[in-house]
Amino acid sequence: MKSKLLLLITLPFIFSACVSLGKFDEMQSQRDALQVSLDSLKNVVAEMDARISQLTSDTASLHAQLSDKSRQLAELELTLDTLTADPCTPKRTGYSQANYEQSKSKNSAELKRLLNNLEALQKDVAAREQKLSDFQDALALRDSSLAEMQKDLVGREQRVVDFNDAWRRGIRRSMP
């Protein structure tokens, strides 16, 4: 009699703790889907990290090139200032008029060449600055996307953990 009474008391607890096979399979498929999603997001994060490394090295290279071109530009501007600020006059240098004219034409050709070089370098510096700005914009966009993806990844990881906990509790309840 006692065993039947004990059996009647424990039977409702055993049946309430059991999870149906359909529910168990559904929970298992949800867990698998979340795990696949988590793995794909981890792959995306790894790809983004590789892209970050590439963009960082490109940015460093562009900074070095920009610095070099700025140095060349400064040198050309100094040369230009020297050529335009130091007119060779016969009185100052003691040159004859023929030497003065020859020096003047030589300096004029040199000045034109330097001006052309200066303009080309200024255009090159402007293009590189634009490219650098574009890279920085891309890095900022990538950073915001990466932060959003990491936030999503954390949320998915938490759902996987919560699901695994619920799944384990469901298995324990179904076991006698």
96 compared with 82, residue with greater pLDDT: 82
pLDDT band per the 50, 70, 90 thresholds, residue 90: very low
| Total number of domains in the chain | 1
Would you say the pTM of this structure is higher than 0.85? Answer: no
Tokens 């998915």 belong to 156
**The amino acid at 91:** K
Residue 98 has a pLDDT of 58
pLDDT band per the 50, 70, 90 thresholds, residue 21: confident
* CATH code (residue 152): 1.10.287
> Structural domain of residue 103, as residue ranges?
2-174
* Of the listed ranges 28-32, 156-160, 166-170, the one predicted with least confidence: 166-170
pLDDT band per the 50, 70, 90 thresholds, residue 102: low
Taking residues 104-111, what's their average pLDDT? 72
Taking residues 143-153, what's their average pLDDT? 88
Nearest by Cα to 155 from 67, 37, 50: 37
The answer to whether residues 2 and 117 touch, using CB atoms and an 8 Å cutoff, is: no
**The amino acid at 15:** F
127 compared with 168, residue with greater pLDDT: 127
